[in-house]
Amino acid sequence: MRNRPSETERGVAWVNNFPPEDKRAAELLLNSLRVLSDVTFRATLTNLLASLVRELPHPIGIYQVRELPNPDVEGFLPLAHPHAPLPGSEGAVGHIIRDVIGSRPDGTVASSPQTLEDLRRIKARTLVLVDDYSGTGNRVAGYLDAWVRDPTMRSWFSYKLIKFHVVLHAVSVPALRALERSPWVERVHFSEHAVEFSTARWSTDEAAEIRELCTNHGFKKKLALGYQEAEGLWVMQHTVPNNLPMILWQDRHKSNSAWRPFFADRKMSPEQQQELGDYRLETRAEEIAGSLRQPRLSHALTDQPGATTRLLLLVLAAAARGVRDVRRLSLLFSTPLASAEAAQQACIQLGLLDSVGRLTHEGQRELVSARRRAPLSVPTRHLIGRDKPYYPWQLRGVEDI
């Protein structure tokens, strides 16, 4: 099992920055981080973007979200100032976009036209704005505003000649709500919910202790809970966002001259990248069942050894409480959308849910049986010439819960 951040050399040193009474909260904060490896990021965002290129109306213009100069600068800002991709987020996203559209972009399908005239020439119908992560939604919204500030773009939009889609690997709940309220955004596509304080599995007292820890020890009060008090817990190997609490990346302390940062210079060291790649805090199935107000099921899952069975039972328990949307399941299970969807589809294939995710009679029977500590009677099939049971493909690769 991968070490928790607090068990690494840097983690131990960072926790020791604090007095004994604060160490418990410091460890909980540190171990609640979600770290995304560059390999997973690149593969997941590439697959998501490529699938959208196949599905969205053509022609498609694809652009990476980036910081723009002062809006008083002349010209159409998103396209008037070509630039070399920067290291970190912009560079990583830029490489993915180039891989998806190819070295010889087909303007009738997907490309990145560099002028309004080129967009007009190809008669683009969809603009896809891509970023790795959004914690507040402000960066994406600001970039989108630069597009619609132009009269031509507003005209195309008002006549429904063009639609904007936002693609992210991860998005926090507040950022998702903000972007979905935008009148310009047709849809936000993402792979997983980004962890932040409000979605961390902390008790009310634990959350209060952690916020107090951040405000008491943060070097700058304005950034104590992260940029714009975003309270982020999401980290990528290629970038450490500034919406993390400042105590995780500050290099000095008001009263501790020997302060040691966890993310020095707001970067992950090579050792941290190796130790923490794709780290997430373990999610206990019985805790999820408890949050669904299923105490008997929670108790039964404690003794259930099968990870797949636990996940299927949680999907059934969620359906019993009216939670059928894949995005809500993903947030509830702290798992990527693809895993939540795979688990739900497996339940549908097994006849435990109907086509829209509602409990069937068989699903209800299995859930009642599980509450009595009976094992889930998952039907198995055998491939011809093989003795091992065959499981539906949707269950393969479903993350352990």
DSSP string, 344-376: HHHHHHTTSB-TTS-B-HHHHHHHHHHHTTPPP
Over range 352-381, report the average pLDDT. 75
Q: What's phi and psi for 257, nearest 5 deg? A: -70, -15
Predicted local distance difference test score (pLDDT) of residue 312 = 82
Predicted local distance difference test score (pLDDT) of residue 396 = 39
Neighbours of 53 (CB within 10 A): 17
What b/e sequence results for 129-151 when a residue is b if at least 16 CB atoms lie within 10 Å of its CB, and e otherwise?
Answer: bbbbbbbbbbbbbebbebbbebe
From first CA to last CA, the distance across the chain in angstroms is 14
Res. 389: pLDDT tops 50? no
Residues of the chain with CATH 3.40.50: 38-193
Neighbours of 305 (CB within 10 A): 7
Predicted local distance difference test score (pLDDT) of residue 309 = 74
The sign one gets for the Cα dihedral 94, 97, 101, 103 is positive
Over range 145-155, report the average pLDDT. 90
Predicted local distance difference test score (pLDDT) of residue 82 = 52
Least confident of 13-17, 83-87, 95-99, 349-353: 83-87
Predicted local distance difference test score (pLDDT) of residue 299 = 61
Predicted local distance difference test score (pLDDT) of residue 69 = 67
| Closest listed residue to residue 363, CA positions, set 401, 328, 320 | 320
Over range 21-43, report the average pLDDT. 94
Confidence of residue 368 (pLDDT cuts 50, 70, 90): confident
Q: Looking at per-residue confidence, does 386 or 60 come out higher? A: 60
Q: Looking at per-residue confidence, does 299 or 270 come out higher? A: 270
Least confident of 79-88, 203-212, 313-322: 79-88
Predicted local distance difference test score (pLDDT) of residue 366 = 84
| Cα–Cα distance measured from residue 134 to residue 138, given in angstroms and rounded to the nearest whole number | 8
Query: CATH second-level architecture of 38-193?
Result: 3-Layer(aba) Sandwich (3.40)
Over range 228-239, report the average pLDDT. 91
Over range 108-114, report the average pLDDT. 89
pLDDT more than 90, % of the chain: 52
Q: How much is the CA Rg of the chain, to the nearest whole Å?
A: 23
Over range 237-254, report the average pLDDT. 91
The amino acid that residue 149 corresponds to is R
Classify residue 194 by burial, with Cβ atoms within 10 Å: 0-12, 13-18, 19+.
buried
Over range 158-178, report the average pLDDT. 94
Contacts of 244 (CB under 8 A, 6+ apart): 226, 232, 233, 234, 235, 263
Contacts of 306 (CB under 8 A, 6+ apart): 376
Over range 226-241, report the average pLDDT. 91
Confidence of residue 255 (pLDDT cuts 50, 70, 90): confident
Predicted local distance difference test score (pLDDT) of residue 247 = 95
The amino acid that residue 326 corresponds to is V
| Cα–Cα distance measured from residue 22 to residue 189, given in angstroms and rounded to the nearest whole number | 39
Q: Is 62 helix (H, G, I), strand (E, B) or coil?
A: strand
Q: From residue 380, give the alpha-carbon distance in Å to each of 58, 145, 353, 390, 399.
A: 42, 53, 17, 6, 20
| Cα–Cα distance measured from residue 192 to residue 339, given in angstroms and rounded to the nearest whole number | 10
